[in-house]
Amino acid sequence: MSVADLDASRYHIDKFLSNHTVYEILPESGRVVVLDFAMPIKRAFHVLHEQGIPLAPLWDSDRQQFVGMLTPSDFISIIMEIGSQRALISEEELETHTIAAWKAEKYRLLDSAQRRVPFQYVGPDDTLKDAVKKLLHYHVTTVPVLYFAEGEGERPHILHLATLSSILSCLCRYFQHSLDLLPLLKHPVGSLPLGTWQNPSNGRLVVLGASMPFSTALRVLDQARVSSIPIVDENGSLIDVYAKSDITALAKDSIYAHVQLDQLSVEQALQLVHNGGLSGAAPVLRCQMCLRTDTLQHIMERLAMPGVRRVVCVEAGSKRVEGIITLSDVFKFLLF
């Protein structure tokens, strides 16, 4: 990788993101599921599963404003609490315990070193670069796009949910006929300081065997600040990926209330995910793979596909996991 290729590519990408706005990633039509802050947690859990979505903005009817997001991380914490002896909330209490009450207790218990992240959003006139920087800085996957109409005071209208995936898709469409401006995209990903790998300087990749207890996977997702874990067989070959967003599969028939996390294997948890999809829903390309020799362009095109959040790099033939590249990895590399 030459410095000239890196500088030229970053210049054109920065120029594009700085000169285009969030308005350009808004779909012509669509819907956003919003949850009331006073909704019981159990109902919220089931709504996300039924709608086939991993998260939702929270609306406080009393204050007439959006106050946060309900995310897979919240449900992972709740499920781990239910299974622990120090549980703050029992399964029975989920019927009446509200999202607001859960969030309040969660923030109360934050360590002094931990920082409560304020509610983040973008406007349709904000630049795509501002949206990317906000998503990366606060380590969030999604921010609502809010519009404040004149004459309606501070009451916002929600237009869409902005993600790194939708921004990358927009970027790929823009440069699809002018790739010569981005020479960096022709380089193989194995030659770039990008992603997390099994044995480099930027940290060891977390991989779990399919027979491991599901509770181990939840602890890793909760504590290691990762959004997914490659799952391998006894030979170390990739068979699937378990992501934070998969946790809503446990809402089907209230499975989370009837299983012991230590007795459920990762393989069984994945089976629940595969069996829990909504009929007629578009299939999610769960386990995208690549090789070290694949170009950055190839990886970006994969990540721009709907439903794809990461690409697992495997060894040719054996499919042994060598690394993982996420949307956040790509934008951090391209911008900084």
* pLDDT, tens digit (0-9, with 9 covering 90-100), for 16-36: 999 999 999 999 988 999 999
How confident is the model over 59-81, as pLDDT tens digits?
999 999 999 999 999 989 888 87
pTM equals: 0.88
Gap between the Cα atoms of 234 and 113, Å rounded: 39
Closest CA to 229 of 117, 145, 309: 309
Residues with Cβ within 8 Å of residue 169, at least 6 apart in sequence = 25, 304
In the chain, % of residues over pLDDT 90: 66
In this predicted structure, what is the pLDDT of residue 261?
77
In this predicted structure, what is the pLDDT of residue 162?
97
- pLDDT for residue 51 is more than 70: yes
- Alpha helices, H only, 63-163: 72-82, 99-108, 128-137
How confident is the model over 78-92, as pLDDT tens digits?
888 766 654 445 566
- Report which DSSP code applies to 207: -
Least confident segment among 238-242, 253-257, 326-330: 253-257
Write down the residue that tokens 């602890």 correspond to: 219
- pLDDT for residue 114 is more than 80: no
- pLDDT for residue 316 is more than 80: yes
In this predicted structure, what is the pLDDT of residue 281?
40
Residue 138 exposure: Cα atoms within 13 Å on the Cβ side: 19
Gap between the Cα atoms of 56 and 49, Å rounded: 11
Gap between the Cα atoms of 78 and 93, Å rounded: 11
Is the model more confident about 94 or about 166? 166
Is the model more confident about 81 or about 129? 129
In this predicted structure, what is the pLDDT of residue 277?
47
- pLDDT for residue 190 is more than 90: yes
In this predicted structure, what is the pLDDT of residue 84?
64
